Structure formats: C-alpha cells, structure tokens
Amino acid sequence: MRVLLVEDDPMIAQGLQTALRDGGFAVDWMRDGAGAAAALRTAAFDLVLLDLGLPRRDGIDVLRELRRRGDTTPVIILTARDDIQHRVAGLDAGADDYVVKPFDLDEVTARMRSVLRRAAGRGEPVIQHGDLRLDPVTRTVERGGVPVNLSAHEYAVLEALLQRPGAVLSRAQLEDRLYGWDEQIGSNAVEVYVHGLRRKLGSDAIRTLRGVGYFVPKA
C-alpha cells in the first residue's frame, strides 16, 4: 500500500513515516500543499494522510481539487484537537476520516485500515480467497489454516493482488505499492517476491500475464 503523507511538521512526519514503514506501507512525504497537489496529479496512491494547515496551499484546497476531478483516493485528515471547524470543513470537502493531533500511532493505522477496507468495498477486515486467508491487522497469511511465513515485501505484493482477484497489476504498479520515492528499487525485485510467494503458496497462486503483469486467479 502506497501512502502520501502531507505534513509540514518534520517531527510528526518523521514519526509517522517510521511507524508506517514498519507497518508495511510505502510512504511518500510532501511538506507543502502545492507539492502535494502536484504529487496527486501525477502518481497513484492508496491513501492520503493530509494535514490542513500547510505552507504554499491549504490542505482543504488540495482536497477539493482532488475530489473535483473525481479522484476517490481515500483521504484521512490530520487536525489539531481544538480545530473542530476545520475538521468539519475537511469532511465536507470529501475527507473519509480524521485523526486528532497529538495522535496515537496505533489509532492512525487502525483508521487507515478501516478506510482502505471501505474503499475496497469490504466490511470484513480479513481477506479470504479460496483457502488463502490474509489478515491486514496482524499482517499474517494462512493457507488451509496453516500459517505461511512471508517477508514484508512478499506480504505487500500478495495484499495488493488480493484486493482485486482477477485484476492484473503491472510490475510498475506493484513497485509503487512497495516503495516510496526515496527508496532504491532493484530492477527484478517484484519478480523475486513473486517467485518467493509461488514457492511458499504454490506455483498457481500467482499467475503471469506475459508482458502485462501479475494477478491472483479468481477463486
């Protein structure tokens, strides 16, 4: 899952980035509203964490532009405790949820999972697909009731593919979900993770559409 974090306070941003990366998210950080708007026009994100008081362009304004072009990317706004007026304005401008600063990191990631679940049209947090069971809260995978030990990157690839069984994701789309802009990507990294997943889950678990990408067959 690739997250755009828009926050001008470096202390908050760094704490969040570390926690999110530990939680298996790829994070890109923008410090101002104009940069965030540009990033949202050019790249695809699974979720946006959006501060409202930002240099160069207000967060609400960035959010309104996003929704005006019909972009439904989930947005969680980050607001100060006494800032009810902005919180309401943010929700009315199309935010999906909010967290109040200073926030608890566990609450932020729980709200992110909840918003991502709704965006994927699922009420149930666990993804069950055939005999595969993926739990985004514990980040664990079972096959036929037996735990499968996956690396963080293998898990991220499998989670991305299981969001929409049958849909093909290209190598570039999978790379986007694995890394932030400032992280190095090995040219065959995705192939390596897919190979690892096939070894652990069976060679049929992930299919290749030659020259296009990878998919999980519909159950």
By the criterion CB under 5 A, which residues form the site for Ca ion?
Answer: 8, 51, 53
Nearer Cβ to Ca ion, position 17 or 163? 17
Q: How many CA atoms lie within 13 A of 151 on its CB side?
A: 13
- What's the closest the beta carbon of residue 199 comes to Ca ion, in angstroms? 45
Nearer Cβ to Ca ion, position 16 or 206? 16
Continuous segment of H or E residues that includes residue 148: strand 146-148
- What's the closest the beta carbon of residue 100 comes to Ca ion, in angstroms? 13
- What's the closest the beta carbon of residue 54 comes to Ca ion, in angstroms? 6
Q: Which residue is nearest to Ca ion (CB)?
A: 53
- What's the closest the beta carbon of residue 78 comes to Ca ion, in angstroms? 8
Burial class (CB in 10 A: 0-12, 13-18, 19+), 47: buried
Are 125 and 135 in contact by the 8 Å Cβ rule? The answer is: yes
Structure tokens at 140: 């664990």
Nearer Cβ to Ca ion, position 51 or 176? 51
Question: CA dist 85 to 60, 80, 145, 157, Å?
Answer: 12, 10, 48, 39
Nearer Cβ to Ca ion, position 8 or 71? 8
